[in-house]
Amino acid sequence: MSLVIVGSIALDSVTTPYGEVDKVLGGSAIYASMASKHFCKTHVVGVVGEDFSKNYICMLQENDICCKGIKFVPGKTFYWKGAYNDMNRAETLDTQLNVFADFDPIIPTDYRKCEYLFLGNIDPELQLRVLNQMDNTKITACDTMNFWIDCQREKLLEVISKIDILFINDDEAKMLTGEHNIFGAAEAAGKLGPQLIVIKRGEYGSMAVTEDFIFFAPVYPVKNVIDPTGAGDSFAGGFMGYLATQKNYNKTSIKNAMIYGTVMASFNIESFSLNKLIEIDLKDIEARKESVINSIQL
Amino acid sequence: MSLVIVGSIALDSVTTPYGEVDKVLGGSAIYASMASKHFCKTHVVGVVGEDFSKNYICMLQENDICCKGIKFVPGKTFYWKGAYNDMNRAETLDTQLNVFADFDPIIPTDYRKCEYLFLGNIDPELQLRVLNQMDNTKITACDTMNFWIDCQREKLLEVISKIDILFINDDEAKMLTGEHNIFGAAEAAGKLGPQLIVIKRGEYGSMAVTEDFIFFAPVYPVKNVIDPTGAGDSFAGGFMGYLATQKNYNKTSIKNAMIYGTVMASFNIESFSLNKLIEIDLKDIEARKESVINSIQL
């Protein structure tokens, strides 16, 4: 089965205690795709400007990611500049939407039959437009952020009512539902529509909450976190990519997807940009998966 | 096997979003004892003033906790007043050391042969004095806090070099070791002496770190947290109490102890003071243990 990923494609300038990089490849769609591509055929949809290097497209294609959905338009690529003093929280220093401001995601015809869809963190209005273009989805998922919860609440609730899986972090889940307790928030979020709520908790791991069960995934203990940018997106990409390989969508596949998401995020934070995700293979992923499972097995 | 617990015995006034209580029974030794007593014979050592109700002693004795080590002295009992707006962080409004200021823990002769010892969060100087009075310990553990790391560092390091298990929270582990990464901090803490470092992470669970393995325990998903006071102590009490019932001190017993600690803390936070820990029995504990295990099993 194959996966469509829609989201931002960015050039990022990032400073962490371990160094800095200037205008490197990033964005939710890219991080998620470079994680999911290890598991399933991945199709990416996004927009870039004239300054976007063709080498990036080549790199994505070499990684077997279909780039037909990436549109080149006049202008500059979405730019984000951030710094991490505390590795758990990015400080945004600059955001230039550029071509992303007028992004209107058009799903290529041959993507529309794909069964799996991940909507990265973009305007819920656009997430809805994508949902309406898909013909045959089995599992749809979306991510979001505080900005949309605040400013596009109604549209966001409409998206959430239509998808199967919501990826969201602790604070955003509380903000979305008005609940102060994270377990109350997860339960309340489930009542908005999705069968599955995946709460992302940064260095504390993640949890999957459905009506029937709760599952806690730890983190892989990375001692040298170089750059947390894209951790949530690579988590979601690994999760959705693995799920797309599974015949059944059930407790077991969800738990395993949580572990694969954890593993992909752990690789991602070990380097700037996509450097680590490019370099690893399935053997590395499986080895780390075993290690993560061992750290929660009695 | 039996367990000696040394620590504070307090009268607490606590305000949380769910209510307030005035001068109720608390303190690290009490919370830990009321958790461990479900598993093993527990002996408590501490000091109280003339205002300490004999009814509390009766309650502890009815719970099969040996109180011979509780000394009544002229003056008032240690008093702590705190408030939780954020359930993850207590704001201290008042601390009156009272009789606790001159606490000099004398271990009753028949306690000195006990194989298990938990040193609650008190002055490392006193923790050392207790260690020196014990004749036959198999496993010793201590808890501590930022204040002692700052102001009694040398003595604290001496304690840590002599014990088997260190209970400590995230921030304190980083502060103790100077490491910014929690996994680096846990490893560095292990090099100070203890074979086992147990990192307490509040609502995110806990982790056990040894040279050979790492184990993550989740939390039990309590939706109505009434009062977090004593969560860390009831965790340590449950952990040590369970361990004291086990022939072997190994990976399996440590992992199970982590789960029992988790369970005891989860009950504790469901009420003010000891109200919930008093009311539960082993059947409740085992049921919740199963639930916690299910939430991390694939």
In the prediction, which pLDDT does B86 show?
Answer: 84
Q: What is the mean pLDDT of residues A91-103?
A: 95
Which percentage of chain B shows pLDDT scores above 70?
100
Minimum-distance CB partner of B296 among A17, A180, A296: A296
Least confident of A85-99, A132-146, A220-234, B200-214: A85-99
B179, closest residue in chain A (CA to CA): A223
Distance of CA B93 to the CA centre of its chain: 22
Distance of CA A202 to the CA centre of its chain: 13
Give A108's Cβ-side CA count (13 Å radius): 16
B202 neighbors B171 (Cβ within 8 angstroms): no
pLDDT at A14 over 90: yes
Domains and CATH numbers, chain A: 2-294 (3.40.1190.20)
B243 neighbors B118 (Cβ within 8 angstroms): no
**β-strands A165-169, A139-143 pairing:** parallel
pLDDT at A88 over 90: no
Query: Three-class SS of residue B200?
Result: strand
In the prediction, which pLDDT does B43 show?
Answer: 98
A207 to B201: CB separation less than 8 angstroms, yes or no: no
Least confident of A55-64, A78-87, B244-253: A78-87
pLDDT at A58 over 90: yes
Q: What is the mean pLDDT of residues B16-38?
A: 97
A204 to B205: CB separation less than 8 angstroms, yes or no: yes
Confidence of residue B197 (pLDDT cuts 50, 70, 90): very high
Minimum-distance CB partner of B204 among A17, A204, A215: A204
Closest chain A C-alpha to B232 CA, distance in angstroms: 17
Contacting residues of A for B222, CB less than 8 Å apart: 181, 183
Which percentage of chain A shows pLDDT scores above 70?
100
Q: Is the dihedral of CA B225, B228, B232, B235 positive or negative?
A: negative
**β-strands A10-16, A78-84 pairing:** parallel
Q: What is the mean pLDDT of residues B153-163?
A: 98
Confidence of residue B87 (pLDDT cuts 50, 70, 90): confident
Which residues have a Cβ under 8 Å from the Cβ of B280 and sit 6 or more positions away? B38, B267
**And the tokens for A141?**
């998922």
B180 to A17: CB separation less than 8 angstroms, yes or no: yes
Q: Is ipTM over 0.90?
A: yes
Look at residues B19, B16, B13, B32 and name the one whose alpha carbon lies nearest to residue B231: B32
Helix (H) or strand (E) holding B215: strand B214-217
Contacting residues of A for B224, CB less than 8 Å apart: 181
Q: How many C-beta neighbours within 10 Å does residue B196 have?
A: 21
In the prediction, which pLDDT does A151 show?
Answer: 95
**And the tokens for B23?**
């001068």
Q: What is the mean pLDDT of residues A7-18?
A: 96
pTM above 0.90, yes or no: yes
pLDDT at A85 over 90: no
A52 neighbors A77 (Cβ within 8 angstroms): yes
Chain B residues whose C-beta sits inside 8 Å of any chain A C-beta: 17, 87, 180-184, 187, 201, 203-205, 207, 213-216, 218, 221-225, 252, 255-256, 259, 293-298
pLDDT at B89 over 90: no
User: What φ, ψ does residue B263 adopt, rounded to 5°?
Assistant: -65, -45
